[in-house]
Amino acid sequence: MVGGATHDFDFNHGDWVVTNKRLVQRGANSHEWEVFTSYEKAQLWMGGMVSIDESDFPTKGFRGMSLRTYNPQKDEWAIYWINSGDGILQPPVFGRFEKGVGIFTGDDTDGDRPVKVKFHWSRTDTESPRWSQSFSYDDGNTWETNWIMEFARPE
């Protein structure tokens, strides 16, 4: 039987206006951020075992989609990302929520550089959840946060 973890992404269901803060250049010790707005619509499927959202980044000229699937045998979520720029399903990150904070990690590349990736969900018990993405270029010894998303319900 599937437990309470299938409700981990219930907070994300519905429509959102998202303030994005993204590093202009990753992995270069940059401190220059760009700020832009996106719009997200999220839905739950299979009793919460699947969470799908689509985001529109109108000033950036692309759309993106997250696919989250819950594995009850491992008590673990897998999160996949795809964007309209290249249409490639990116390697997943894996993890879970503990005390309202979600940490999800995996391996990927940033250009030609191998990276460890970390997604961090917080404030999921509020009307303003927060997501961030960090990369590690040194096998997890140090992390650079390169994208922050602040969620709000549309007015």
CA distances from 114 to 103, 121, 125 (A): 20, 23, 34
pLDDT < 70 positions in the chain: 1-3
pLDDT in tens, 75-105: 999 999 999 999 999 999 999 999 989 999 9
Backbone conformation region of residue 63, classed left if phi is above 0, alpha if psi is from -120 to 50, else beta:
beta
What is the rounded average pLDDT for all residues in the chain? 95
Tell me if the pTM is above 0.85. Answer: yes
d(CA 140, CA 116): 6
Domain architecture of the chain: domains with CATH: 4-152 (2.40.128.20)
Backbone angles phi, psi at 48, to 5 degrees: 100, -5
**Distance set, CA 46 to CA 6, 19, 52 (Å):** 9, 29, 11
